[in-house]
Structure 1
Amino acid sequence: MPEPAQDLCDPFWKIEATNDRWDYEIADQTFDPAAITSGFNGFMGHWKPRFLGETPAATGLDPFIFVPLQGKLTEKRHFQAMSPIEMLRATLRTDPGRKVIATLHPRENYGAPELAVLDDLAAAEPRFTLAEGDSLPFVKACDYIVTQNSSVAVTGFFAGKQAVLFARIDFHHIAGSVPRDGIEAAFACMHQPAPDFARYLYWLLELNAIRIWDPAAQDRIRARLSRFGRPI
């Protein structure tokens, strides 16, 4: 049975037949920026400062890739192209001209073996740094973001930052995706012109999510629940 799922960031919500975000309906849809003809500039102007806040960008850093880590650093799960630690190694190999700064997820509990692997990587690779603190200063200062499927990548879209994803997810459309395209093609996207972030975010959040205080929210919630066999 489908379960309502909070998605991305309040107040944007999804009601889906699964809790696996890579299997949300939008994941299989095609994003066509030409079809988004209005509303996106106002949406971006309203939501960008709310996502990015007033936190200043990190300063005094060489060009770098930001990697917001999630959990299970040494495991490859079924929706991932490789484990998070292998993702870090692959990023360092594929983009040898930039440093890599990673942060740990504030709500994850990491075991001693996982942290030891990160320490070993930092000792062996001078371009890699494990940093502490909030992710936003690094989002604002980085050249681009690499992650498994953290929604920090969506925050990065608001900051005009491209992303390479190493796992399946529902917001892959304008990102380089290793599961979808392979590692070389995914990183090659970072050398192409930036996608239309404003149109994409409007499509992703305004048109394909339920904004909870939208006057039409109740009708949209009823329609989604009815679709999945839970009429109210």
Structure 2
Amino acid sequence: MKRVLWFYLDDNRRALAETGQGIFGAVVTAVKAAGWQVFYRGQHADIEGDGFHLVYNRAVEGPFCFSLRRCYLQKYYRIEATNDRWDWDVAGLTFPGKPGPAWFQRYWAERLFRGETIGQGGYIFMPLQGKLLQRRHFQAASPVEMIKATLDADPQRRIIATLHPRETYTEAELAALRGIERFELVTGSMAWLAGCDYVVTENSSLALQGFFLNKPAVLFARIDFHHVAASVGQLGVAGAFVAVHRPQAYADYLFWFFKKQALCEVGDDSLARVADRLRTLGWPL
């Protein structure tokens, strides 16, 4: 395999790569230090050419193509052999449960929820995503089925739900939400997340953000941050709604998930960790 990197980026990210900035610059610096050549193509250009290919947040094509994608928080990323987060390497790991410093959870809780009122308002927060009437292959139920299962499993609390701002919903999907008892659609997310008792979602990243406030979560779909959530796919509906109330070491988990498993584009060891990740994926550096 030729020691060539084809990097698929938009103009702004290409500028960062060419000037050695951030995660994009770290990748380029790492491969050039090993004597590689680097060529650029547009973010959505066809995958072709001998060598290794790195795309940004799009499906990979072939065994020598990998995906670089943001890992939920600013400055954190992953490089993976798939763009599907539920199949990322971390999803298959066992959270060791080792104590981690609490500052990471506190720092990001302040950044994410500054100005919000933190509490338990007696409701379930449910960030909905797309395709409300369809059960996709990584889901245990369709979103509409998830709503009904949640109301059955928790007959006391009401559901406060949001629609995804970047999704387009059909009239049939919206009609399916009308008239459901103990169910209300609202706008905004962070204030409702801050005030909920717990989160129920397919695999919205808002469940992960809730961990910074020690908010439990029930997940109806596969995802990479399932370790301290109650997974319907693993436990069934009844089991998940029992497990969601069990205490979890959220601060320890968040430190492990981000600081130990993801790539941070800042820090003295940033470049070394990027290079180590590429070697783990089989890149001959």
**TM-score computed with the length of structure 1 as normaliser:** 0.90
- Distance, in Å, in 1 between the alignment partners of 2:173 and 2:276 is 44
Residue matched to 1:45: 106
Distance across 2 between alignment mates of 1:220 and 1:190: 34
1:138 Cα offset (Å): 0.8
- SS of the aligned residue for 1:77 comes to coil
Is the alpha carbon distance of 1:58 and 1:42 closer, same or farther for their aligned partners in structure 2, counting shifts above 3 Å? closer
Structure 1: how far apart are the matches of 2:284 and 2:72? Answer: 25
Gaps of 5+ in 1: none
| Offset, 1:57 | 5.2
- CA RMSD between the two structures: 1.7
Deviations 1:171-223 (A, max 9, x none): 1011100011111111101332x201100100111111111112211111122
- Of 139, 162, 179, 2:233 maps to 179
Matched AA of 1:205: F
Match of 1:188 in 2: 242
Deviates more, 1:207-216 or 1:140-149: 207-216
Identity of aligned residues (%): 43
4+ residue segments displaced more than 6 Å: none
The Cα of 1:12 is off from its aligned counterpart by: 1.3
Residue 206 of structure 1 corresponds to which residue in structure 2?
Answer: 259
- The amino acid across from 1:186 in the alignment is A
Structure 2 counterparts to residues 1-232 of structure 1, below 5 A: 1-33=65-97, 35-36=98-99, 38=100, 40-56=101-117, 63-119=122-178, 123=179, 125-132=180-187, 134-192=188-246, 194-231=247-284
AA partner of residue 181 (structure 1): L
Question: Is contact 1:21-1:170 (8 Å) kept?
Answer: yes
CA separation in 1, counterparts of 2:66 and 2:234? 26
SS of the aligned residue for 1:71 comes to coil
Distance between the aligned counterparts of 1:58 and 1:174, measured in 2? 20
Unaligned runs of 5+ in 2: 1-64
Aligned-partner SS, 2:244: helix
Q: In the aligned structure 2, how far is the partner of 1:72 from the partner of 1:230?
A: 37
Aligned counterpart, 2:53: none
Q: Which has the higher contact order (CA 8 A, sep 6+)?
A: 1
SS state at 2:152 partner: helix
Q: Decide whether the 8 Å contact of 2:106 with 2:212 is kept in 1.
A: no
- Which amino acid is 1:101 matched to? I
The offset of 1:26, in angstroms, is: 1.1
Cα deviation, residue 231, structure 1: 4.8
Amino acid at match of 1:146: V
Which secondary structure does the structure 2 equivalent of 1:155 belong to?
helix
Q: Is the 8 A contact 1:57 1:138 kept in 2?
A: no
Displacement after TM superposition at 1:48 (Å): 1.7
Question: Offset at 1:10?
Answer: 1.3
**Equivalent residues, number:** 221
CA distance in 2: counterparts of 1:179 and 1:90, whole angstroms: 13
- Match of 1:111, as an amino acid? T
The question of whether the paired residues in 1 share the 8 Å contact of 2:77 and 2:262 is answered with yes
SS of alignment partner, residue 19 of structure 1: coil
Distance in 2 separating the partners of 1:203 and 1:143: 24
CA–CA distance in structure 1, aligned partners of residues 114 and 134 of structure 2:
33
Letter in structure 2 aligned against 1:79: F
Contact 2:216 2:245 (8 Å CA) reproduced: no
**Offset from partner CA, 1:80-137 (integer Å, 9 cap, x none):** 0010110011000110011111100111111211111111xxx1x32111112x2111
Distance 1:184 1:112 in 2: 31
Mapped contact 1:52–1:155 kept (Cα < 8 A): no
SS at match of 2:258: helix
Using structure 2 for the length normalisation, give the TM-score.
Answer: 0.74
